[in-house]
């Protein structure tokens, strides 16, 4: 699985992880490439290996005020110390009322934050949603404990589309971005399908230096990446990068195309898709009825480049019908307005 190498290099399967200490800060760089895959993730940081004790013990304290005796918390370690690795995924969770009582650390609105250190990342988890209560229940039951162990300041947003119109997943994710920023300033956003359950807590839900595709290996696809530019399922982007690419396209009503369009936006703006290794970025997919496909998705992909600047956050229109904050998530019910042709 792994072995030590001179000079602190750790070889982990197809992954090369280099731990470097510079100016008392630790950076872990990952170069990933599967067999036969020519698209390397050029840089990925803070990847947790099993032998990262040096990294895990490195903590940076906040500046102390010498004039008082107030306890100053240290910054959370780059590699959370309580990670367990592969997880026992539960597809049959208890009722929400039981889940709420189980995760006492979670605050109303689905917010979690460590109490023994200062988190390095403030993350909004955006879940586009409609008519999947059992899937949502399973995701919350599996996701919350993992995120708490990862020592990030996070909040889960469920963005539900009102009405019976064709589902627009991408537009809901744009809404989640806009509404989350009305709450507070998040460093990055993780866009998460409701039917994907993470299998390993070393798959850190932290802020990437480059857009990160997180659901690399899904059981439905025999834990293989279907194609190199895939960006669907679970993905992470910094606030700055999501704004730079103008968010997701709003024209993809129905299944398919919106994630490939986002991959095209990422490349067009000089960015690249990064990934954790497939033996860590693993998910189980819950069974569901497939949405009706968008018959124009290939045409929209072909002509998408000329709309990047005008189709997305810049022309997003919706009505926030309701907003509530039960314990496990922030719920946003929205009515979408189709964008005018550009």
Which pTM was predicted? Answer: 0.82
CA triple 309-122-124, angle to 5 deg: 55
- 234 forms bridges with which residues in the sheet? 192
Position 12 scores a pLDDT of 32
The CA distance from 45 to 274, in Å, is 10
- Mean pLDDT, residues 270-279 taken together: 98
Say yes or no to pLDDT of 1 above 90: no
What angle (nearest 5°) sits at the alpha carbon of residue 143, between those of residues 72 and 186? Answer: 50
Beta strands in the chain (DSSP E): 2-5, 9-12, 15-22, 25-32, 111-112, 122-129, 153-161, 188-192, 196-198, 212-213, 217-218, 234-238, 274-275, 282-285, 318-324, 330-336
**Mean pLDDT confidence for 301-327:** 97
pLDDT (0 to 100) of residue 121: 96
pLDDT at 44: 56
Over residues 104-127, mean pLDDT: 97
Q: Where residue 289 falls among pLDDT bands split at 50, 70, 90?
A: confident
Q: What confidence category does residue 31 fall into, taking pLDDT thresholds of 50, 70 and 90?
A: very low
Give the pLDDT confidence of 84-115 residue by residue, as tens digits: 999 999 999 999 999 999 999 999 999 999 99
| Average of per-residue pLDDT across 146-157 | 98
DSSP states of 252-274: --SBSSHHHHHHHHHHHTT---E
pLDDT at 30 over 50: no
Pairing between β-strand 2-5 and β-strand 234-238 as defined by DSSP bridges: unpaired
Task: Identify the pLDDT of residue 341.
Answer: 59
Segment among 10-14, 232-236, 283-287, 291-295 with least mean pLDDT: 10-14
Q: What is the mean pLDDT of residues 50-61?
A: 38
CA distance 285 to 8: 36
pLDDT the model gives residue 68: 52
Mean pLDDT over residues 283-297, rounded? Answer: 86
Pick the more confident residue, 57 or 272: 272
Does residue 40 have a pLDDT over 50?
Answer: no
CA distance 313 to 339: 11
The full DSSP string for 280-323 is: TSEEEEPP-PPPPB-TTHHHHHHTGGGGTTTSSGGG--EEEEEE
Under the banding of pLDDT at 50, 70 and 90, the label for residue 35 is: very low
- pLDDT confidence tier of residue 288, bands split at 50, 70 and 90: confident
Query: Which H/E stretch holds residue 49?
Result: none
pLDDT digits (tens, 9 = 90+) for 242-261: 999 999 999 999 988 999 99
Dihedral over Cα of 248, 250, 252, 253: its sign: positive
């Amino acid at each position: 699985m792994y072995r030590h190498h001179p000079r602190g290099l750790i070889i982990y399967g197809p992954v090369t992880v280099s731990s470097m200490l510079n100016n008392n800060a630790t950076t872990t760089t990952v170069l990933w490439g599967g067999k036969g895959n020519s698209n390397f993730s050029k840089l990925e940081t803070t990847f947790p290996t099993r032998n990262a004790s040096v990294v895990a013990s490195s903590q940076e304290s906040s500046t102390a005020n010498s004039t008082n005796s107030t306890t100053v918390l240290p910054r959370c370690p780059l590699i959370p110390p309580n990670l367990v690795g592969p997880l026992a995924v539960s597809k049959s969770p208890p009722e929400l009322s039981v889940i709420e009582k189980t995760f006492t650390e979670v605050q109303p609105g689905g917010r979690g934050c460590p109490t023994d250190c200062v988190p390095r990342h403030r993350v909004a988890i955006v879940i586009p949603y409609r008519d999947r209560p059992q899937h949502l229940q399973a995701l919350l039951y599996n996701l919350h404990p993992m995120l708490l162990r990862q020592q990030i300041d996070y909040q889960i947003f469920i963005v539900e589309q009102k009405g019976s119109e064709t589902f627009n997943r991408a537009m809901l994710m744009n809404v989640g971005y806009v509404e989350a920023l009305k709450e507070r300033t998040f460093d990055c956003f993780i866009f998460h399908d409701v039917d994907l359950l993470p299998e390993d807590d070393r798959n850190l839900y932290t802020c990437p230096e480059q857009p990160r595709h997180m659901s690399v290996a899904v059981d439905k696809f025999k834990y293989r990446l279907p194609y190199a530019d895939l960006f669907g399922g679970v993905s992470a982007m910094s606030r700055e990068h999501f704004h730079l690419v103008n968010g997701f396209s709003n024209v993809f009503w129905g299944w398919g195309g919106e994630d490939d369009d986002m991959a095209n936006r990422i490349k067009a703006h000089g960015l690249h898709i990064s990934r954790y290794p497939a033996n860590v970025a693993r998910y189980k997919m819950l069974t569901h009825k497939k949405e009706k496909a968008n018959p124009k998705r290939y045409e929209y992909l072909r002509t998408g480049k000329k709309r990047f600047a005008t189709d997305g956050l810049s022309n997003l229109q919706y009505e926030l019908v309701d907003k509530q904050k039960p314990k496990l998530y922030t719920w946003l019910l929205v009515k979408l307005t189709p964008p005018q042709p550009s």
